[in-house]
Amino acid sequence: MKPVIRWTLWQRRWSTFWWSLGVVALSGFTLAFYPTIKDQASQLNKSLGGLSGSAQSLFGGTDFFSPVGYLNSQLIYFTVPLILAILAIGLGTSLIGREESNGTLESLLARPVSRGKLTLAKAIAGVIIILIVSFVNLLVTVGLSKLVNLDVSSVYVAEACFACFMLVLTFGAVAFLLTSTGRGKVAALGISVVYGIGGYLISSLDSTVHWLTHVSPIFPYHYYQTADILRGTFRWGDIVFFTVFTLACGLLAYLAFRRRDIA
Amino acid sequence: MAQDALIDTWGLSKRYAGNKAYSLRDLNLHVGGGEIYGFLGPNGAGKSTTIRLLMNFIQPTDGHANIMGKNVVKDSVTIKKSVGYLASDMAMYPKMTGAQFLDYMGQLQHNVDEEYKNQLIHLLQADPAQKLGNLSRGNKQKFAIIQAFMHKPQVLILDEPSSGLDPLMQEAFYKLLREAKERGAAIFMSSHVLSEVQKVCDRVGIIKNGKLVAERSIAELEKEAAHTFEVTFRESVPTKVLEKLKGVTVTPHDERRAAIRLDGELAPLLATLAKYDVVQMDVHQLDLEELFMHFYDDEEEQ
């Protein structure tokens, strides 16, 4: 199992580097703007107060320019999860899917390696890559927040980044599961994106469109409450949901991959 | 000399999802240790399906297969400690060097003989420092062969193993096959190159439309093979007279030259030919390719 993890990480070392650099650029660029707008926070909040509740909720709340509001609406609620979700879904569809479409999966399965261990090794490699990029994001966000005097507890930022990491794992897990069943990469990609983005829209709008409150709990985004986390309310129950969801997808991926024909 | 069977299949069949027809139907074969078994058939006949079933890449619809007495589905991991596999036009990691690829495969295999691996690299003149993506097909094939042989497996499953190799490297590969055979390995190989099969295999199976239509040892095939005579007459070929003889088929090349194939007694043919003015007569043994086509033609006629 270790060689599969090691070689998968080695093969993706440059893409991991570029994704990390991208996250550094995104967070750095966004936080660099904070000093120029923080003095006008109350006026800007007032002017955006005219937006509908639905529109405001798409950005993660009604407060956009306070330290917590800025960090949440500009980075942690949507932008960073979006970027990391692209990475996670891409990994989910390609960790086994690319090996299968390239034909190299046969080389691995010709060795005394069980399909279960191969699935687990690929999943672990994917989690490590997402963890690395998420950790880089955490370091940059905490560091730059201090630098631009964004007054939010580093512990709360770390907790929010951790929740973000756990959220995107669920998206990657859905993609991994669909690819493991032998569905085409495109189908797995499409369904995972619709599930992720659809979940974001439904969970963001459920406060104003009441019937959505019955639907939104099936989407991971419903449990991603970063505004609360940045204000000091961290709910372990949400993390448990992400964990159970990810593990369930992993288990189903194993069961699906265990006995199916390799293309 | 072949020992007890290391590869066995009983009624092995495969029908892919969404297909009505079976790609492989009721395959029964047994390959012993110290035996090289050639599996022949055109594209789509079921050769690769058989190999993929033996490697547990796909699941059988009916029947089952054992390697070294163990079920290929249930005991797949255990079996693969002793199996070397070479895919047709094997996919590799283009950004890895040959050395990295062999290291990776070796780490997964666990029981690689490093000294033997280096001998193989030397024998096949492979360059382990080159990235696989920069190598020609033949040079990539060298690494495919090395990874299949480097742990001295007891069973070798090879799909078109010598494709892309130049004649010198083909000879080096045949040497490896002979060595593996001598140490008692069972070798199951599919090939399009009939001269290669004739040269290295002990036994051949011919598969058509998913069914094994013939299985013979090379010695049996040579004995069975009809003689073909290339005959030049001073005047026109007496086709009608010759074809009245039992077991004779005449294929005229031109007005005075013909190939006469005989599946039976030689004396009546010679007696008939003696009545004509024969300028030249060459005898040659039917080769495997002709025999292969013969099986296919016979099947077509049926």
B58 contacts in A (CB within 8 Å)? 261-262
Check whether B157 has a pLDDT greater than 50.
yes
pLDDT of residue B2: 47
B57 contacts in A (CB within 8 Å)? 106, 109, 261-262
Candidate from B59, B76, B87 with C-beta closest to A106: B87
Determine the average pLDDT of the residues in B143-158. 95
Which position has the higher pLDDT, A56 or B26? B26
The mean of the pLDDT values for chain B is: 87
B83-93 residue pLDDT tens: 999 988 888 99
Is A4 an interface residue toward B (CB < 8 Å)?
yes
Is A236 an interface residue toward B (CB < 8 Å)?
no
Candidate from B77, B83, B91 with C-beta closest to A107: B91
Task: Look up residue B97 and give its DSSP letter.
Answer: B
Residue A220 has φ and ψ, to the nearest 5°, of: -55, -30
pLDDT of residue A122: 94
Nearest CA in chain B to A10: B96
B194-203 residue pLDDT tens: 778 888 999 9
Check whether B246 has a pLDDT greater than 50.
yes
Candidate from B59, B78, B110 with C-beta closest to A259: B59
Residue A207 resides in a domain:
yes
> pLDDT grade, residue B1 (50/70/90)?
very low
Q: Compute the nearest-CA separation of B62 from chain A (Å).
A: 14
Residue-wise burial string across A78-90, b where 16 or more C-beta atoms lie within 10 A, e elsewhere: bbbbebbbbbbbb
Q: Compute the nearest-CA separation of B185 from chain A (Å).
A: 17
| ipTM topping 0.85 | no
State how far the Cα of B31 lies from the Cα of B6, in Å rounded to an integer: 6
Residue A53 resides in a domain:
no
B58-83 residue pLDDT tens: 999 999 999 999 999 999 999 999 99
Is B109 an interface residue toward A (CB < 8 Å)?
yes
pLDDT of residue B109: 93
Residue A219 resides in a domain:
yes
A259 contacts in B (CB within 8 Å)? 59
Best B59, B74, B77 member to test A by mutation, with max A CBs in 10 Å, is B77
> pLDDT grade, residue B18 (50/70/90)?
confident
Which position has the higher pLDDT, B35 or A74? B35
Residue B126 has φ and ψ, to the nearest 5°, of: -85, 150
A117-146 residue pLDDT tens: 999 999 999 999 999 999 999 999 999 988
Check whether B302 has a pLDDT greater than 60.
no
List the single range of A34-43, B2-11, B13-22 with lowest mean pLDDT. A34-43
Domain hosting A91: range is: 2-46+58-259
pLDDT of residue B166: 86
Residue A52 resides in a domain:
no
Question: Which residues of chain B from 218 to 257 reach within 8 Å of chain A, CB to CB?
Answer: none
Residue A19 has φ and ψ, to the nearest 5°, of: -65, -40
Check whether B23 has a pLDDT greater than 70.
yes
Cross-chain Cβ contact B105/A111 below 8 Å: yes
Q: Compute the nearest-CA separation of A159 from chain B (Å).
A: 38
Q: Compute the nearest-CA separation of A109 from chain B (Å).
A: 8
State how far the Cα of B121 lies from the Cα of B169, in Å rounded to an integer: 12
Query: Helix, strand, coil shares of chain B as percentages rounded to 5?
Result: 35, 30, 35
pLDDT of residue A83: 92
Cross-chain Cβ contact A3/B107 below 8 Å: yes
Cross-chain Cβ contact A262/B58 below 8 Å: yes
How big is the A-B interface in CB pairs under 8 Å?
A: 62
State how far the Cα of A180 lies from the Cα of A94, in Å rounded to an integer: 10
CB contact at 8 A, B156 and B84: yes
Determine the average pLDDT of the residues in B166-177. 90
Best A7, A107, A119, A262 member to test B by mutation, with max B CBs in 10 Å, is A107
Question: Which residues of chain B from 29 to 88 reach within 8 Å of chain A, CB to CB?
Answer: 52, 55-59, 76-78, 80-81, 83, 85, 87
Q: Compute the nearest-CA separation of A223 from chain B (Å).
A: 39
**Spans of chain A below 50 pLDDT:** none
- Show the beta-strand stretches assigned E in B53-139: 62-67, 70-71, 83-86
Strands B248-252 and B257-262: antiparallel
Check whether B171 has a pLDDT greater than 60.
yes
Strands B155-159 and B186-190: parallel
Is A106 an interface residue toward B (CB < 8 Å)?
yes
Residue A222 resides in a domain:
yes
Give CA B273 to chain center in angstroms: 38
State how far the Cα of A72 lies from the Cα of A32, in Å rounded to an integer: 15
The single-letter code of the amino acid at B3 is Q
If you search the block for the tokens 């990480």, which residue do you land on?
A: A9
Q: What is the largest CA-CA distance in chain B?
A: 73
B18 contacts in A (CB within 8 Å)? none
DSSP of chain A: -HHHHHHHHHHTHHHHHHHHHHHHHHHHHHHHTHHHHGGGHHHHHHHHTTS-HHHHHHTTSS--SSHHHHHIIIIITTHHHHHHHHHHHHHHHHTTHHHHHHTHHHHHHTSS--HHHHHHHHHHHHHHHHHHHHHHHHHHHHHHHHHTT----HHHHHHHHHHHHHHHHHHHHHHHHHHHTT--HHHHHHHHHHHHHHHHHHHHHTTTSGGGGGTGGGSGGGG--HHHHHTT---HHHHHHHHHHHHHHHHHHHHHHHTSPP-
Task: Look up residue B225 and give its DSSP letter.
Answer: P
Is B274 an interface residue toward A (CB < 8 Å)?
no
Q: How many domains does chain A have?
A: 1
Sketch out chain B's domains with CATH numbers.
5-217 (3.40.50.300), 227-301 (3.30.70)
Is B17 an interface residue toward A (CB < 8 Å)?
yes
Check whether B192 has a pLDDT greater than 80.
no
